Structure 1
């Protein structure tokens, strides 16, 4: 459990955002935004949030951003461009958002290289799998015959996932071998990327969480833990890992 002691240094967590058309008051413009539940979860777990909107990727930009971060979260959002994993788009797949794909891929690769603690949520899990060479099911109803993971209309559905023993995820959620989660996705992992381990799955075989097989903190879940305000364990774990990383980074600079 992360410490919320006011004397304990709060690690800086970068959280990626949407870049979509948004309306507020008289303004109707493209804007970067993120549902408040994401940064509420991080701050309640003891972290400081820095929002990371999609922006042009050039030499050294992701590296410069990661210089100031102790942890990274890739959030939910539009589907990953299927061209990134060698497929043509399914009719149900979102129009490509290449700006966000390129930005998050760049941030992720630097974070993994530097062993910055990483947490992927929904789309974030898919970005991780694709970045490491995996593929996605573009429309799960075609695969499992139901829309149990996506009711549409902004309504999250409840599903049960089974945790794999002896994984980091199982240790974070100690005392549980099954977990009720909130889902909102129509895509999921198809071919698992090399280096990833499945740490949770559903009764229909859909992968629900993965983590790196190495010792570094890199976990991603297909569900939306930010919507479960009463259970901050995954955010607590990220903030704890980020605090350790910050201490090491500051020590190295000193």
Structure 2
């Protein structure tokens, strides 16, 4: 049986001028789905749901993947909202935090990308910078208008980390985020950093499962960059 990869979904709406009706969608970026299909995994999209169903959702899957999206409500790391905080989606925050908790209970691996890494850090007691203006970092971490298919800055990968098993010690990544990990959660190790000191990856095996988060977007370039596809291959083959 193929490894079942549960990718947390997001929600959006669109207004149809023709019938004057608003339609709501649950979705995940297609690039995540395609990356795991190429890795011969079985991607399953988990829509934002109710906390009471997290036990059943986690039982359905082998690996939980947390994708990018909105900012995380700072109440979850005991801060007031800063004026530069972006859009939040509290139902998603609550659901993802419950999924993470349940995945640990059931011993399932957890992977976070961009926001996903940040919510992992928050779930285990870490904090975030709510905006780049509150950090000492100097690189351009929102690379627009440059396409996310194109890497724009280097990260240094820690030796003997999970990431070092398929990435070189210095690796160029794409970047599209205005929030950053600040205080790292207990029992997590920083395993990649940017040249300006920004935390680019965290890992832990303390809780009995494998947990890894990256700040960049391998899903946006895995169809053109074989090393970014290795991110998906590793998840399917080893987690």
| Structure-1-length-normalised TM-score | 0.84
**Aligned residue runs from structure 1 range 85-104, under 5 A:** 85-104=77-96
Kindly indicate whether the alpha-carbon contact (under 8 Å) linking 1:141 and 1:147 is maintained by their aligned counterparts in 2.
Answer: no
Gaps of 5+ in 1: 1-8, 243-254
The Cα shift of 1:28 comes to 3.1
Kindly indicate whether the alpha-carbon contact (under 8 Å) linking 2:31 and 2:219 is maintained by their aligned counterparts in 1.
Answer: yes
Kindly indicate whether the alpha-carbon contact (under 8 Å) linking 1:197 and 1:213 is maintained by their aligned counterparts in 2.
Answer: no
Aligned alpha-carbon RMSD (Å): 2.0
1:127 maps to 119
Kindly indicate whether the alpha-carbon contact (under 8 Å) linking 1:155 and 1:184 is maintained by their aligned counterparts in 2.
Answer: no
1: distance between equivalents of 2:110 and 2:29? 19
Kindly indicate whether the alpha-carbon contact (under 8 Å) linking 1:134 and 1:192 is maintained by their aligned counterparts in 2.
Answer: yes
CA offsets, 1:150-177, max 9 Å, x none? Answer: 145685361210001121111232xx11
The number of residue pairs the alignment matches comes to 230
Relative to structure 1, the CA distance from residue 152 to residue 21 in structure 2 (aligned partners, 3 Å threshold; closer, same or farther) is: farther
Aligned with 2:76: secondary structure? helix
2: distance between equivalents of 1:56 and 1:113? 18
Kindly indicate whether the alpha-carbon contact (under 8 Å) linking 1:15 and 1:50 is maintained by their aligned counterparts in 2.
Answer: yes
CA offsets, 1:136-193, max 9 Å, x none? Answer: 01111332365601145685361210001121111232xx111111111001110000
Structure 1 residue 169 and structure 2 residue 163: aligned? yes
1: distance between equivalents of 2:210 and 2:158? 17
1:241 maps to 238
1: distance between equivalents of 2:71 and 2:64? 20
1:29 maps to 23
Which of 180, 184, 187 is the equivalent residue of 1:192? 184
Relative to structure 1, the CA distance from residue 182 to residue 90 in structure 2 (aligned partners, 3 Å threshold; closer, same or farther) is: same
1: distance between equivalents of 2:66 and 2:79? 23
1:4 maps to none
4+ residue segments displaced more than 6 Å: none
